[in-house]
Chain A
């Protein structure tokens, strides 16, 4: 595998401005663990790009590999194979654990589920600690900056208290202040609200949204669907592999294993602007999910005059009616004004998975129903004299 072009780790802070659009790039990342029972692979060749300024959530079941994936990004663990480039630096090639620690202090802030404040230091001292480690900011400026961060999270009154004397929510807020101590471009959070009540969780997500608005990139592992809905992007990991985001967006009710199955068998098709994807009365053998671009569903009257039934966006699907009802296409489907990228699932696989996933089948049936109604109205309109 060809390694991406990266800058040396020790210069990473200085060269931020010249770094590429991507904040995080994972290429073919494999992580294997061995124990007495044998070897098992936790990450199976993960490719992932997260751009600067994105607010990304990573979800997955227990043991799916989401924490391992996060550890790859933070430099906490090292991959068995593959490359991880964060903020323009290949953090595993020719870099010692010690150098990586220092790099981490400057380039990313980490927020843990269990806060991980050092118990022997006050909140203020905890926030100052990363600045001491990476020697950022003038020594005498550090207390003021730490206090500013504590003010930002509303903890200025508790600055001189030891962690044990404040609530768990306040501890997590202090941990966030600590994560931002060296003003890193990337914040990584592992279940940041997992141990908090909903009010504290909301405060924290609001803070995150504020950071994203300032241009920070945030990657967060979470189980909480109310949080994933507030992120720009939702990455699902299952059994050590990433699920195609188009599939997860198009068929969110599917079980992760089915999503993963689809990820593996889906074919990628690209259509030029206005190119026909499905013609009316054509036999359909695929279920389509739009990855990029727009798709127009069009009806033609007897005078060959076309009328637009609907315009489908990325994350929507088509072809389901024909597959479910076993008939031919009832409309023309073609690419919009821009090229379109779609994922196509073979009919047999689609039908089989729907049989195994009644929730998804129900959801799709509802969509079919509403589309049929819309189609009927459009059809009546097109056949009217």
Chain B
């Protein structure tokens, strides 16, 4: 090996701590981008592939009871591929030895072996349930602590209890996919229905289209035609849902979130590149003498350039060796985490070629780009300067040609200290050293500040976004202000329910709400989407809408409704006063939009009309099957207790109760899923914080290295270990404090940006941003700790130096 390459090898091996710092600086960026790009690839591929692998229905029809003849006619309809009938009933279920009831949607299939649509994948135990046997969807286990082999108790609507044997656990990634609020599922065979006192009839149809399974327009067309046909033939369809075979219902949300993660990943690469630039520039300045000697003995610029470029490439390769395997594992881990949360499967661990290529490119190109400027300037340096020993690289030396004047910034620093001193404010000199040292390497300071500020701003913004989302969920809660909702299997008179309900301790008020299942039509009569119309009393205090345009419902409104913003997806120019075609109970009617309000777009289009008018539409005066109860206390625990009490009371009084649910239950579920999203963001924020802290450690390490001689002087004139450490740590602290100030400012646009992206992805509507002191306080604490921790190691090294060592070069 030629001596110059031997030198490169030695540079790599001899100073292991420095090599490690450079390699880790590169590796952290490569790792982050590897994790994110890998997870992005895995999720976007596996989500659709694994979803499609389960043959998801393109059209889901919720219908009145129907028999196999109707199912056959569905099967034979034009454009239909597969069709499967099922019966879905909601039961309260409890595990053996438990008194905790859990609401499950029990799905009855004609035959497990002939299952063609919304396939069930085995998890454990049997894959088919026989008569009086039951299978549980694996998500149900989160709520129901049951084991295969035991009996589950189901409560029928008349209050009788029936036991079914749990024979297996399955996974159903299709049914209910994308519905965060859907109850868990259980599966039985149709023959078990009589045991549960249910007719052996279907009430759902899951249908695939024969062609164009990924063409939503085609699916809608076929589905709407099918629905019309069924309606005409007397089988009422209450609700339809359309979806593409290769598109998970949550794909858009997930992609939006992954997009944010990807943006953050790219940002981390930028941050780590500034870290790399800093480290390499310090490395080059340490090597100035070497370069001087190389040139002195005949080395040319090109040779020096090639040597240091090779060194940088070597750093990059070493970083790749660390970051690629870790990034691959991290990517799969993150993908798995998201997949579990969103109930879809991955196709197994693998190396994602695209992610690998991105990592290799980042690992080699970023150091190259970051190191190019220092390498070029280093290779062009004159022998005289290289050997002059001017290694501290002060940027506060007088400018060339102006030997008697200081740069304005240093002049200002000195001047400010002097003015303060003249006013009797003497800053301790050791702190002045820290303060002025901070600004000596301004290029390096800028890069460090950039890294730390970005980390801080993202960190703070994530907390703001979290509060913003929760605040919005809280606001959404104002649509569900009832403490307990009790749904009955049949309608009851309001006075009757009031009479009984008010007898229950803690119940203050009872309201009857009605529900009208309608369809929103385009002017040409085609179905745009389902429209769930709720009908509370017009003066109800249990809804507090966030009105965007127009007004709320009034008791005298006739054929008028307020609708959620989601309608704008279909009618972007809609405004209050416009008329809409609705299909209600098979009739097409014209209704007037009186107001538009904010809601969660993902939950479909929601509308409100006054109970006073809906009673006429449904022909149910003062009767309803759905009642809202207001209790004296409004916390979740009381609500749960009251739900249980009301359920028990009404059942005891002979009412056919379907379910009683606390008002906050569904909101809590929604909050939990939002927290999952916030966790992703927080992981990214922490990663950026780590990059920032590494940047600061690197900067402090380099500063200390370059100022070794000055530290020796301090020791020579009386600075003990603590004094030296204080000086170094104070410098880190000053940088940390400065970055905090900048992060406060930058966090504001970041909060708006992140909140908008996330709210559009999750709620399909922009939401009002809320700021919280929490992120600022935590980051302030964290940055203080990080600054100190990042400075401790260099400070300890500085304190350990003996003066002889540091002054040795003379």
Contact = CB atoms under 8 A, between A and B. Distances in A.
Interface of A: 71, 74, 76-77, 96-99, 101-102, 104-106, 109-110, 112-114, 116-122, 125, 128-130, 132-134, 139-140, 142-143, 160, 162, 164-165, 178-179, 181-182
A164 B440 CA distance: 14
Contact of B414 (A76, A106, A134, A162): A162
Contacts of B406: 162, 164-165
B719 A116 contact: no
Given A113-B810, A165-B406, A101 B720 contact: yes
B648 interface: no
Contact of B432 (A112, A125, A130, A134): A125
Given A118-B433, A118-B710, A98 B426 contact: no
Nearest to A136: B718
Given A77-B804, A114-B810, A125-B432, A98 B421 contact: no
Contacts of B436: 120-121
A182 B718 contact: yes
B410 interface: yes
A129 B421 contact: no
Contacts of A129: 429-430, 433, 714, 717
Given A76-B804, A104-B716, A97 B433 contact: no
Nearest to B405: A165
A160 B716 contact: no
Nearest to A120: B436
A116 B403 CA distance: 19
B96 interface: no
Given A140-B426, A143-B426, A162-B406, A98 B799 contact: yes
Interface string B674-713: 0000000000000000000000000000000000011001
A170 to B, nearest CB: 13
A140 B427 CA distance: 10
A97 B721 contact: yes
B719 A164 contact: no
B713 A118 contact: yes
B692 to A, nearest CB: 25
Contacts of B404: 165
Contacts of B713: 112, 116-118
A96 to B, nearest CB: 8
Contact of B394 (A77, A109, A119): A119
| Most chain A CB neighbours (cut-off 10 Å) among B432, B716, B723, B799 | B716
| Most chain B CB neighbours (cut-off 10 Å) among A106, A112, A120, A179 | A120
A98 B396 contact: no
Contact of A101 (B418, B440, B719): B719
Contacts, number: 117
Interface of B: 392, 394, 396-398, 403-404, 406, 410, 414, 417-418, 421, 424, 426, 428-430, 432-433, 436-437, 440, 709-710, 713-723, 799, 802-804, 807, 810
B720 A71 contact: no
Given A71-B804, A143-B421, A122 B717 contact: no
Contacts of A113: 810
Main secondary structure of the interface of B (DSSP, over half): helix
A133 B414 CA distance: 20
B429 A97 contact: no
Given A98-B799, A120-B437, A121-B432, A133 B714 contact: yes
9 contacts: A74-B716, A98-B720, A98-B799, A104-B717, A121-B432, A129-B714, A133-B714, A133-B720, A164-B396
Nearest to B800: A97
Given A77-B802, A165-B398, A105 B432 contact: no
A143 B397 CA distance: 25
Please list the 6 inter-chain residue pairs (A to B) with the smallest Cβ-Cβ separation, ordered nearest first: A105-B718, A98-B721, A133-B718, A120-B436, A98-B720, A76-B803
Contacts of B723: 101, 133
B799 A130 contact: no
Given A105-B719, A110-B716, A120-B436, A128 B429 contact: yes
B394 A104 contact: no
Nearest to A134: B718
A139 B427 CA distance: 10
A120 to B, nearest CB: 4
B397 A101 contact: no
Given A121-B432, A122-B414, A98 B722 contact: yes
A189 to B, nearest CB: 12
A61 B57 CA distance: 95
Contacts of B721: 96-98, 101
A101 B715 contact: yes
Contacts of A117: 713
Nearest to B413: A120
Given A118-B710, A118-B714, A121-B436, A99 B804 contact: no
A139 B717 CA distance: 17
A180 to B, nearest CB: 11
A99 B717 CA distance: 12
Given A109-B717, A160-B418, 11 more contacts: A77-B802, A77-B804, A112-B807, A119-B396, A133-B717, A133-B719, A140-B426, A164-B397, A165-B406, A178-B717, A181-B717
Nearest to B804: A77
| Most chain A CB neighbours (cut-off 10 Å) among B392, B436, B718 | B718
B193 to A, nearest CB: 84
Contacts of B398: 164-165
A16 B776 CA distance: 54
| Most chain A CB neighbours (cut-off 10 Å) among B428, B710, B715, B804 | B715
Contact of A99 (B394, B720, B810): B720
Given A125-B429, A143-B421, A120 B440 contact: yes
Contacts of B722: 98
B807 to A, nearest CB: 7
Contact of B718 (A76, A104, A112): A104
B718 A106 contact: yes
B421 A120 contact: no
Contacts of A96: 721
A273 B392 CA distance: 64
Contacts of B437: 120
Contacts of A139: 426, 428
B354 to A, nearest CB: 49
| Most chain B CB neighbours (cut-off 10 Å) among A112, A128, A132, A165 | A132
B718 A130 contact: yes
Nearest to A142: B426
Contacts of A162: 396, 406, 410, 414
